[in-house]
Every structure is written in C-alpha cells, then in structure tokens.
C-alpha cells in the first residue's frame, strides 16, 4: 500500500491515546497484537463506546464513567515498512483473522504474517463476531475448507465492512502523528 498524501485515522478507546505503546496492545485481535485505527470516524465512535463499557465491567475505569474517547492521527508515508493490504474480506483475510483470534488453530497462518509492520484491510467488528465464532467452531464445516470459507464470507457481507490499520511494530507507530481527540458519550 502506498499512501501518497496525509490521511486522518481514528482510534476509539476508554482513554485518550496520544502516543501509542505496542506493549499495551492486546493480542487475539484480527491482525494480531498492534495499535488499531480506522479511516471511519463512526467506527471509532462505536469502538470508543464498546471499549469504555468493557473497561467499566473489568474495573479499569470507575462504574460511573460516562465517556469514551476517539483519538485522531494523521498517517503518511509507509515507505520503508513491510505493509500488507488485504484487498477484500476473502479466504486469505478470513484465515488471518481466525489464526490471530484462535490461539490453537492455524499456526502456520500466523507465521505468514509475523514480519509485517503494518496490516490493512476490512475489519471484523462486533457485527461479524458471531459469524467468525461459528466459523472457528466448525459450524460451516472444517476451518480452512473452501465450503466453510464461502459460507462465512457470504454471511459477513464484506462490502459493508469498514477498514482498519494494525500497526504492529514500534517503527510503524512513528508514522502516526496525534492531532487531537473527541469525547464520546457512552
């Protein structure tokens, strides 16, 4: 992927994030451990609400917390980084997401992606979790088979999915410049 001009990307969370720290990023996400952003402000707003609700449930923030945050960044020039772009939510994308979410499955798949600094593609959001969980549980057939892939991708309606960037290395995060935040009522 080549980014010719600056674009604005967003990160939704229970807290303001000015300087992303990869050591604070969780594992088990779509493209593995990393800092996730999207070009969709609306998607980031949704994530801010979800993240804040989870933080309340897990005791990370006080129970009376009423706000989450969308942090905004400019992104430019991914040159000199190893970047992979999934053009669509297809079998390759599905296998990558499942491999990163399901720790006991598709280990060979994880090895394919380990060296990438940035991964970009469709987002498997809360609306898609049921389909991906059913796929991982083998409800559409054995994981990785063409039949199971086709059924899951059909249910995902890939044309309706938003995008996401996953910054997976310290160097990649230097490409993000913090520009501000927005407080979001949960």
The secondary structure of 58-81 as a DSSP string is TTSS-TT--EEEEEEEEE---TTS
Tally of domains in the chain: 1
**Distance separating alpha carbons of residues 111 and 92, to the nearest angstrom:** 14
**Distance separating alpha carbons of residues 47 and 117, to the nearest angstrom:** 23
Residue 47: predicted pLDDT: 92
**Distance separating alpha carbons of residues 129 and 101, to the nearest angstrom:** 11
Could you tell me the mean pLDDT of each successive run of 10 residues in the chain, 186 residues long? 77 97 88 95 94 96 96 92 92 91 74 93 78 91 92 82 92 96 95
Residue 91: predicted pLDDT: 92
Encoded tokens for 55: 């933080």
Full residue range of the structural domain in which residue 154 is found = 7-185
Q: Is residue 157 part of a domain?
A: yes
129-136 and 146-156 helices cross at what angle (nearest 10)?
170
Q: Among 15, 81, 1, which residue's Cα sits nearest to residue 52?
A: 15
Residue 106: predicted pLDDT: 72
Specify the 3-state DSSP secondary structure of 53.
Answer: helix
Q: Is 35 exposed, middle or buried (0-12, 13-18, 19+ CB in 10 A)?
A: buried
Q: Is residue 1 part of a domain?
A: no
Residue 26: predicted pLDDT: 86
- Kindly report the backbone phi and psi dihedral angles of residue 86, in degrees, each rounded to the nearest multiple of 5, phi listed first: -85, 120
Residue 2: predicted pLDDT: 52
Q: Is residue 19 part of a domain?
A: yes
Q: Is residue 2 part of a domain?
A: no
């Amino acid at each position: 992927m080549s980014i010719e001009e600056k674009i604005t990307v967003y990160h939704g969370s229970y807290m303001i994030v000015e300087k992303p720290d990869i050591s604070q990023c969780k594992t088990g996400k779509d493209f593995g451990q990393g800092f996730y952003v999207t070009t969709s402000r609306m998607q980031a707003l949704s994530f801010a609400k979800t993240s804040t609700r989870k933080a309340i449930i897990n005791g990370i923030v006080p129970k009376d917390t009423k706000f989450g945050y969308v942090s905004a960044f400019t992104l430019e020039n991914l040159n000199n980084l190893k970047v992979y772009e999934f053009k669509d939510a297809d079998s390759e994308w599905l296998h990558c997401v499942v491999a990163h979410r399901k720790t006991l499955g598709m280990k060979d798949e994880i090895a394919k992606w380990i060296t990438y600094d940035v991964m970009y593609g469709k987002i498997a959001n809360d609306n898609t979790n049921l389909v991906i969980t059913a796929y991982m549980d083998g409800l559409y057939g054995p994981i990785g088979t063409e039949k199971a892939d086709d059924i899951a991708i059909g249910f995902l309606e890939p044309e309706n999915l938003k995008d996401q960037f996953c910054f997976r290395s310290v160097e990649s995060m230097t490409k993000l410049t913090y520009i501000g935040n927005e407080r979001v009522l949960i």
